[in-house]
């Protein structure tokens, strides 16, 4: 028998289907995560169970461990900044101060969806070794980034404000505080201006302090709303 000396250019090796976190469409259809029509990120924490390797394999064992809590308020606090608008006049600054709130929408939405997937055990049975980077949490974040984020767009924001009298409290001027209780004790600020990034990844919120800064500081909190595209 003659040899043709033609070596194969490719080698085929079986790999776990969970190595690829991008959902691929085919002629016969494909699987796709069923998502909610709308998402409201307010103050409700999410609780889920997993083993010490961040895997969700056996709920009966995992629910005997300390539960993981996704604190919505803490996450939103980490992913926003609030600063004084430096373009305003000194008179405005000392009276109805103009503020700029920058919010990282993508990061907050990603973290929220991640916790939701954990809560519903969407990736149950997927161990670290079944993922490309040997890390199921990283694989889930990659899945969200490639398949879920682009299916939502920012809808609206609710900004709650509660004013504090500087004359009766030991609070420094211009020192405003993030406080989840403002949802119950404060009021929604109606007069705001928003500038959303072209890819909906961030939003800039501009607003004026309605009470004079010489006499009042404030607590604040915000809710975020997203709609399915």
8 A C-beta contact, residue 149 and residue 33: no
Domain-wise residue ranges, the chain: 36-228
Residue 24 has a pLDDT of: 63
8 A C-beta contact, residue 39 and residue 229: no
Residue 142 has a pLDDT of: 94
Residue 17 has a pLDDT of: 63
- Residue 147 burial (CB count, 10 A): 15
H helical segments located in 120-186: 136-143, 182-185
Mind spelling out the 3-state secondary structure of 71-95? Answer: CHHHHHHHCEEEEECCCCCHHHHHC
Q: Give 10-residue mean pLDDT values along the chain (229 residues).
A: 58 63 56 81 98 97 97 98 95 92 98 97 95 93 93 96 83 89 97 94 96 93 96
The angle, 0 to 180 degrees and rounded to 10, between the axes of the packed helices 105-119 and 136-143 is 120
Residue 115 has a pLDDT of: 97
8 A C-beta contact, residue 157 and residue 203: yes
- CA distances for 135 relative to 33, 55, 140, 142, angstroms: 20, 9, 9, 11
């Amino acid at each position: 028998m003659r040899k043709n000396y033609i070596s194969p250019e490719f080698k085929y090796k079986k790999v776990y289907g969970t190595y690829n976190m991008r959902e691929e469409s085919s002629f016969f259809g494909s699987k796709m995560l069923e998502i909610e029509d709308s998402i409201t990120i307010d103050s409700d924490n999410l609780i889920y169970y997993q083993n010490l390797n961040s895997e969700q394999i056996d709920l009966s064992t995992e629910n005997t461990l300390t539960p993981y809590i996704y604190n919505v308020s803490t996450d939103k606090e980490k992913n926003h900044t609030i600063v004084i608008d430096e373009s305003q006049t000194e008179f405005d600054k000392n009276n109805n101060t103009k503020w700029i709130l920058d919010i990282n929408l993508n990061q907050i939405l990603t973290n929220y969806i991640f916790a939701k997937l954990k809560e519903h055990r969407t990736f149950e049975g997927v161990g670290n070794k079944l993922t490309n980077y040997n890390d199921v949490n990283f694989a889930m974040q990659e899945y969200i980034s490639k398949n879920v984020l682009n299916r939502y767009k920012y809808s609206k924001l609710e900004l709650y404000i509660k004013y504090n009298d500087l004359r009766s409290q030991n609070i420094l001027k211009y020192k405003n505080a993030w406080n989840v209780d403002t949802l119950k004790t404060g009021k929604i600020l109606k007069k705001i201006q928003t500038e959303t990034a072209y890819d909906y990844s961030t939003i800039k919120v501009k607003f004026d302090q309605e009470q004079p800064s010489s006499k009042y500081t404030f607590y604040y909190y915000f809710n975020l709303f997203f709609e399915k595209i």
